[in-house]
Structure 1
Amino acid sequence: MNYRHSFHAGNSADVVKHSLLIALVRALQQKPGALTLIDTHAGCGLYDLGGDEARRTGEATQGVLRAFADTNPLLDDYRAAVQAVNAGAEPRFYPGSPRFLAQLLRPQDFLILNEKHPEDVNALRGAMRGTSAAVHQRDAYEFWLAMLPPRTARGVVVVDPPYEQTDERARITATLAAAHRKWAHGVTAIWYPLKDRATHVRWTQQLRKLGIPKFLVVEHWLYDRDQPDIYNGAGLFIVNPPYAFTQALPPLLEALRAALAPEGHRGEIRADWLGDGV
């Protein structure tokens, strides 16, 4: 799956991913101790929804614009974070994960970003100017392991690859296994697209073999049945999610499902434990 994010910024996957990231970080921030937030595939940091690439797909109309048209207060934090990078009532710009994470930083927290693509890392540095974020240009999987354990006792690693390489899932699986050995109590959030259930089931079975105890799977299927050869939704694997996050998750997931369901479809979004969940 080719996934240059400028074509897809603000789509339904972004709405779910960024809503959950906000909830995840804020749950961790219920404790005063410092956090290190690490983004392995940071992208450009900020996207123009009026640009040629975004307008070519029009995916924001089924994502962020639906979220803005919705009135459920559980999406207020997400809408406020998008509004923070826009001047008008309707979003023209969409923040990537780095800009969402930067908005969540407390004085004691750290943000470390990585992007390998030369053009994108230059855009990222511009988008993060004026923030405290450190920006690296390295192989994402080497960077992921090199950053662990972080300087703070607690933190989150966000892994959001383009899935352009055929071995992407294998590299994630191997790196997650090594990362868990280095930092067993750390929180990791891994985004993935959903094109067909069979491929996803095979990967999930491989991840289950890692034996990670607290491994949450959040899946958002847009359609009531698989649509062949197209994007069907997306999900997050979350290792070691805090209790406050998992307890608050069901109503947020229902709010996201209702806001993003395509016309004629109810859609489905659910969270299940891959490991023991204890």
Structure 2
Amino acid sequence: MLSYQHHYHAGNAADVHKHAVLGWMLAYLTAKPKPLSYIETHAGRGLYDLGDPAAQRTGEAAAGIGRLEQALAADHPYRRCLDATRATHGPSAYPGSPLIAAQALRPGDRLHLAELHHGEHAALTTALAPFPARIRREDGFAMAHATCPPMPRRGVLLVDPSYEVKADYDSIPGHFARLHRKWNVGILVLWYPILVSGAHGPMLDALGAAFPDGLRHEVGFAAAREGHRMTGSGLFVVNPPYGLAEEAARLSAVFEAKG
């Protein structure tokens, strides 16, 4: 896990899927005056430069945000966040999910982030310096269990591991069950890769059995390069907010139209 650095993959098609859904959910939640909490277990560095050689080396951003951005409505919350990030940090800047959340939240909302990698944690601290975030360098699941139920109780928890630790597939359903027992009103969001190996399958079977009313949304796309094992992106949402199924269907149409 400590070897993973997302800047090689920032802005890829999976990021577009995950961040478009997250942006929509936060816009929906912040449209009401009640305060909320945002918790993220594997935050990364929060801000990426798609012009960096590390990002360009894989070609994933070109196949992701470069191909899909214009297919999203100009007033989509995710597009607004992209515009704001570029206006502040330059045209090749790309916001990770912590920065998307930080831009969406209001005074009175709470932002809890965990990132274990030393370099990524330092970069995250710098990127989020203008925002009142609580950033911890510790295991994300430990932080989530210690924080839940948060105050305010209304809110979202995003789990977005690298899955370099293969045990994540086995342990995540148990983490979600425990977190839901402690925070039964929280929106719990899991991102997962669609893999040629099908390694994600048993995890999703367990989540579906535990949360039969959860929303599962997946999009497919071409492998980023020859031999790449990820051919799609998935989200599993416990307590999905009203209207998310319709937003997910709109995103499916975007990905299908772009082939």
The aligned counterpart of 2:235 is 236
The one-letter code of the counterpart of 2:194 is L
SS at match of 1:175: helix
Residue 209 of structure 2 corresponds to residue 209 of structure 1: yes
Residue 56 of structure 2 corresponds to residue 49 of structure 1: no
CA contact (8 A) 2:189 2:235 kept: yes
Unaligned 5+ runs, structure 1:
262-278
Q: CA deviation at 1:213?
A: 4.1
CA contact (8 A) 1:67 1:79 kept: no
The aligned counterpart of 2:146 is 146
- Structure-2 separation of matches of 1:86 and 1:30: 24
The aligned counterpart of 1:272 is none
The aligned counterpart of 2:128 is 128
- State the TM-score, normalized to the length of structure 1: 0.84
What is the 5 A alignment of 1:58-69?
58-68=59-69
CA contact (8 A) 2:37 2:110 kept: yes
Larger mean Cα displacement after TM superposition, 46-55 or 122-131: 46-55
Cα distance change on mapping 1:168 and 1:235 into 2, 3 Å: same
- Structure-2 separation of matches of 1:84 and 1:30: 19
Q: CA deviation at 1:247?
A: 3.8
Residue 107 of structure 2 corresponds to residue 107 of structure 1: yes
The one-letter code of the counterpart of 1:29 is T
The aligned counterpart of 1:85 is 85
What is the 5 A alignment of 1:155-170?
155-170=155-170
CA contact (8 A) 1:3 1:163 kept: no
CA contact (8 A) 1:36 1:154 kept: yes
The one-letter code of the counterpart of 1:46 is L
Q: CA deviation at 1:153?
A: 2.3
**What is the CA RMSD across the aligned residues, in angstroms?**
2.3
Query: C-alpha deviations, 1:127-163, integer Å up to 9, x for none?
Result: 0011111111111111111110001121100111111
Q: CA deviation at 1:233?
A: 1.2
- Structure-2 separation of matches of 1:209 and 1:29: 31
CA contact (8 A) 2:37 2:154 kept: yes
Q: CA deviation at 1:242?
A: 1.1
Cα distance change on mapping 1:84 and 1:55 into 2, 3 Å: same
Q: CA deviation at 1:197?
A: 6.5
Query: C-alpha deviations, 1:162-208, integer Å up to 9, x for none?
Result: 11111011221221111111112210111111112733332221223
Q: CA deviation at 1:3?
A: 5.0
The aligned counterpart of 2:252 is 253
CA contact (8 A) 2:190 2:237 kept: yes
Unaligned 5+ runs, structure 2:
none
CA contact (8 A) 1:187 1:238 kept: yes
- Structure-2 separation of matches of 1:78 and 1:65: 14
Q: CA deviation at 1:244?
A: 2.9
SS at match of 2:172: helix
- State the TM-score, normalized to the length of structure 2: 0.90
CA contact (8 A) 1:35 1:109 kept: yes
Residue 183 of structure 2 corresponds to residue 195 of structure 1: no
CA contact (8 A) 1:42 1:115 kept: yes
- Structure-1 separation of matches of 2:74 and 2:190: 23
Larger mean Cα displacement after TM superposition, 184-193 or 250-259: 250-259
Cα distance change on mapping 1:165 and 1:71 into 2, 3 Å: closer
- Structure-2 separation of matches of 1:136 and 1:30: 28
CA contact (8 A) 2:157 2:187 kept: yes
Cα distance change on mapping 1:3 and 1:62 into 2, 3 Å: farther
- Structure-1 separation of matches of 2:31 and 2:213: 20
CA contact (8 A) 2:14 2:233 kept: yes
The aligned counterpart of 1:9 is 10
> How many residue pairs were aligned?
255
| Identity across matched positions, percent | 38
Q: CA deviation at 1:74?
A: 6.2
The one-letter code of the counterpart of 1:232 is T
